[in-house]
């Protein structure tokens, strides 16, 4: 058990690190914000085309579906750490540096995009085919049909965004390897390398609270949106 | 009376499951509709009747090109739909409403929005949409359900939303694919009355697919009897007696 003296010593250590901890929070939010937003847009588009090019959909095209599917599988096969290293020339070219939270965001966004693409495809597949047919029978444009699909799948899509966000939060811990910063990085540097267990515990608790918060909000929004 | 729908020698076949092969080892093509010609008059209620697998739903779906025929013409209101470009076909479809066995309503939109959606798609002036939706909901007696979601409705109510949605852009043709098959007998009766009223008051030509002889008897002016993709005969039902001449036709007619 912790004695009162040990506890107050731990709190002192944490307070001494408050600047670093604050910076880690900021970095984590930057990485999460940028990567989730980009992944939703790119992954969303990719997922819609994956779905529409699949069998019996209106852009049905075996070659297109094969190519999109292969790209998705290939990108998803990369362990995140390897992807980060492999992409470093690319991130340097785009953001000017291979390290830091912005560079890490880019890698997170790519990894997240292909992950999210599959989730979107799967969600759209759950929309009853009859609804697409009814919309086609009205003479709706392809773009309108896509809007209907997304609207019918919206609660599942929100839950997928929730999963995406939590996965990216956990991926972002590995981003410390390229100086990405963030909470995960801090936990490894102080908690593991410097044996400051209280830092490790504090950050794990913070990450847990964030995961719980993201999941709970996702569930709540999805429930509100679901009229099925 | 003019011809509203003319099918000229339409055919449709589908590629079977991979496991079924022809003798030469090639994939088997299953013929859903053998060469079929038929004409539906303007203002008529026309039935497509047959056992499961007779090709009646496929034939119906050829009329708005949800299925494109392998050969033949599909002429609706004087236009051969098979010759139209994608965008002209979309415009032609605003003139052909459709209702479905499983209703196919958008579950995340209210009753009002489901009906309004079709009007928006059909390019209806947005200022008039509210009034038109309410008029259509009045026709199917669902004014008080406008703000509900489909999940909050009974099967019969869902189908009436389907009807209101289909007739909202004032189409000349209404296609009904087994519209009562998911409903109980009492609900079926009231739905058939609703379809009959729409036909009489709005002059909409209705083509209805069903396997229930009672539906044909109550609702249709004429009906095509189909069997294994072939049109056996077209029976006139207006005199209250259904005269079938072919053996299978007689079997269909005297089923219940």
Q: Residue B254 falls within a domain, yes or no?
A: no
Chain B residues inside the 8 Å CB shell of A226: 108
Closest CA to A113 of A78, A143, A82: A78
Beta bridge partners of B14: B30
**Which pLDDT does position B177 carry in this prediction?**
97
In a domain, B162, yes or no: yes
| Residue A15, min C-alpha distance to chain B (Å) | 49
- Spatial distance between the Cα atoms of B256 and B245, rounded to a whole number of angstroms: 17
Judge: B107–A151 Cβ closer than 8 Å, yes or no. Answer: no
pLDDT score for A176: 72
Judge whether B151 is closer than 8 Å to chain A, CB to CB. Answer: yes
d(CA B48, CA B32): 14
Cα–Cα distance between A220 and A15 in angstroms, integer? Answer: 34
CATH classification at residue B127 = 3.40.50.300
User: Could you tell me if residue B193 is inside a domain?
Assistant: no
DSSP string, A153-196: THHHHHHHHHHHHHHHHHHHHHGGGGT--SHHHHIIIIIIIT--
Q: How far is CA B220 from CA A34, A117, B212, in A?
A: 61, 48, 12
The alpha-carbon gap from B240 to the nearest alpha carbon of chain A, in Å, equals 33
Domain of B109 in residue numbering reads as 104-187
Query: CA nearest A224 in B: which residue?
Result: B108
Q: Can you give the pLDDT at residue A188?
A: 84
Residues of A in contact with B175 (CB under 8 A): 137
On whether residue A8 sits in a domain, the answer given is no
In a domain, A13, yes or no: no
Interhelix angle for A18-52 vs A154-174, to 10°? Answer: 130
pLDDT in tens, B115-150: 999 999 999 999 999 999 999 999 999 999 999 999
The answer, yes or no, to whether residue B66 has pLDDT greater than 70, is yes
Using CA coordinates, name the residue in chain A closest to B110: A227
Rounded mean pLDDT of A114-139? Answer: 97
Q: How confident is the model at residue A175 (pLDDT cuts 50, 70, 90)?
A: confident
Residue B153 placed within a domain: yes
What's the gap in Å between the CA of A134 and the closest CA on chain B?
A: 6
Which residue, A57, B37, B222, is CA-closest to A47?
A57
Record: contact A137-B98, CB cut-off 8 A: yes
Domain count, chain B: 1
* pLDDT for A122: 97
- The number of domains in chain A is 1
Distance from CA of B65 to the nearest CA of A (A): 8
Chain A environment of B106 (Cβ under 8 Å): 131, 148, 151-152
Measured CA to CA, the distance from residue A184 to residue B238 in angstroms comes to 78
| Rg, chain B, Cα only | 19
Q: Above 60 in pLDDT, residue B256?
A: no
CB contact under 8 A, B106 and A148: yes
Mutate to test the interface with B, among A138, A157, A221 (most CBs of B within 10 A): A138
- Confirm whether A10 is domain-assigned: no
Of A148, A135, A131, A143, nearest in space to B97 by CA: A135
Residue B68 has pLDDT above 90, yes or no: yes
A180 touches A100 (CB < 8 A): yes
pLDDT interval class at A108 (50, 70, 90): very high
- Tell whether A14 is covered by a domain: no
CB contact under 8 A, B108 and A226: yes
Q: Which residue from B minimizes the CA distance to A155?
A: B108
B57 part of contact set with chain A, CB < 8 Å: no
Mean pLDDT for the stretch of residues A124-142: 96
* Cα–Cα distance measured from residue B182 to residue A166, given in angstroms and rounded to the nearest whole number: 42
Domain membership of residue B66 (yes or no) is: no
- Distance between CA atoms of B234 and B244, rounded to whole angstroms? 8
Residue B91 is predicted with a pLDDT of 97
Q: What Cα–Cα distance (Å) separates residue B124 from each residue in A41, A99, B48, B110?
A: 31, 55, 31, 19
Q: Which of A55-59, A64-68, B39-43 has the lowest mean pLDDT?
A: A55-59
DSSP letter at B21 equals B
What does the mean pLDDT of chain B come to?
Answer: 92
Residue A60 lies in domain: 21-225
Query: Is some CB atom of chain A closer than 8 A to the CB atom of B12?
Result: no
> Average pLDDT, stretch A163-173?
93
**pLDDT exceeds cutoff 90 at A158:** yes
Interchain contact B89–A (C-beta under 8 A) = yes
Percentage, residues of chain B above pLDDT 70: 98
Model pLDDT for residues B77-129, shown as the tens digit of each residue: 999 999 999 999 999 999 999 999 999 999 999 999 999 999 999 999 999 99
**CATH number of the domain within which A188 lies:** 1.10.3720.10
Residue pLDDT, tens place only, A205-224: 999 999 999 999 999 999 99
Kindly list the residues from chain A whose CB atom is less than 8 angstroms away from the CB atom of residue B98.
Answer: 134, 137-138
A139–B91: do the CB atoms touch at under 8 Å? yes
In a domain, A1, yes or no: no
Query: Is residue A16 in some structural domain?
Result: no
Q: Does A215 fall in a domain?
A: yes
From chain B, the residues in CB contact with A136 under 8 A are 66, 93
Chain A hits for B149, CB-CB cut-off 8 Å, are 227
pTM of the model: 0.90
Identify the three-state secondary structure at position B176: strand
Pairing assessment for the beta strands B96-99 and B173-177 based on DSSP bridges: parallel
At A141, the pLDDT band (50, 70, 90 cuts) reads very high
Burial of B240 (0-12, 13-18, 19+ CB in 10 A): exposed
pLDDT band at A87 (very low <50, low <70, confident <90, very high): confident
Domain-embedded: residue B56: no
Q: What is the pLDDT of residues B166-206, one digit of tens each?
A: 999 999 999 999 999 999 999 999 999 999 999 999 999 99
What was the pLDDT predicted at B25? 77
DSSP string, B42-91: TT-EEEEEESTTSSHHHHHHHHTTSS--SEEEEEETTEEGGGS-HHHHHH
Contacts with B126 (C-beta within 8 Å, 6 or more apart), sequence order: B120
pLDDT at position B26 = 79
d(CA B248, CA B225): 9
Residues of chain A above pLDDT 70, percent: 99
Whole-number pLDDT of residue A178: 67
Which tops the pLDDT comparison, A194 or A156? A156
Please report which confidence band the pLDDT of residue B69 belongs to, taking 50, 70 and 90 as the band edges.
very high
Q: How far is B91 from chain A (nearest CA, A)?
A: 6
Residue A119 lies in a domain: yes
pLDDT at A64: 95
């Amino acid at each position: 058990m912790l004695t009162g003296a040990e506890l107050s010593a731990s709190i002192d250590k944490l307070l001494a690190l408050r600047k670093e901890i604050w910076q880690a929070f900021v970095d984590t939010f930057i990485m999460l914000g940028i990567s989730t937003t980009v992944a939703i847009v790119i992954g969303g588009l990719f997922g819609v085309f994956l779905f529409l090019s699949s069998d019996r959909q209106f852009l049905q095209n075996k070659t297109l579906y094969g190519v999109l599917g292969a790209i998705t599988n290939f990108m998803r096969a990369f362990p995140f750490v390897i992807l980060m290293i492999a992409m470093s020339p690319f991130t340097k070219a785009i953001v000017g540096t291979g390290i830091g939270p912005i560079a890490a965001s880019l890698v997170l966004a790519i990894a997240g995009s292909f992950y999210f693409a599959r989730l979107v495809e799967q969600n759209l597949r759950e929309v009853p085919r009859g609804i697409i047919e009814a919309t086609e029978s009205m003479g709706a444009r392809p773009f309108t049909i896509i809007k209907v699909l997304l609207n019918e799948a919206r609660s599942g899509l929100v839950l997928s965004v929730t999963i995406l966000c939590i996965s990216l939060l956990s991926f972002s811990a590995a981003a410390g390897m390229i100086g990405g910063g963030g909470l995960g990085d801090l936990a490894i540097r102080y908690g593991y390398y410097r044996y400051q267990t209280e830092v490790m515990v504090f950050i794990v608790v913070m990450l847990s609270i964030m995961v719980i918060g993201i999941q709970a909000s996702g569930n709540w929004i999805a429930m509100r949106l679901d009229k099925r | 009376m003019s011809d509203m729908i003319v099918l000229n020698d339409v055919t449709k076949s589908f590629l079977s499951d991979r496991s079924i092969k022809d003798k030469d080892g090639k994939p088997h093509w299953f013929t859903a509709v053998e060469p079929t010609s038929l004409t539906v008059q303007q203002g008529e209620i026309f039935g497509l009747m047959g056992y499961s697998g007779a090709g009646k739903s496929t034939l119906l779906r050829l009329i708005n090109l949800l299925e494109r025929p392998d050969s033949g013409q599909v002429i609706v209101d004087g236009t051969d739909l098979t010759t139209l470009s994608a965008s002209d076909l979309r415009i032609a479809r605003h003139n052909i409403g459709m209702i479905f066995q499983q209703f196919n309503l958008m579950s995340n939109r209210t009753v009002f929005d489901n009906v309004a959606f079709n009007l928006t798609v059909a390019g209806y002036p947005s200022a008039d949409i509210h009034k038109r939706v309410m008029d259509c909901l009045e026709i199917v007696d669902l004014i008080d359900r406008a703000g509900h979601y489909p999940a909050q409705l009974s099967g019969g109510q869902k189908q009436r939303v389907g009807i209101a949605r289909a007739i909202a852009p004032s189409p000349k043709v209404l296609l009904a694919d087994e519209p009562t098959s998911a409903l109980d007998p009492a609900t079926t009766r009231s739905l058939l009355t609703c379809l009959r009223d729409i036909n009489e008051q709005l002059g909409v030509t209705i083509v209805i697919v069903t396997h229930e002889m009672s539906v044909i008897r109550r609702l249709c002016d004429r009906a095509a009897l189909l069997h294994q993709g072939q049109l056996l005969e077209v029976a006139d039902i207006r005199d209250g007696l259904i005269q079938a001449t072919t053996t299978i036709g007689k079997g269909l007619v005297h089923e219940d």
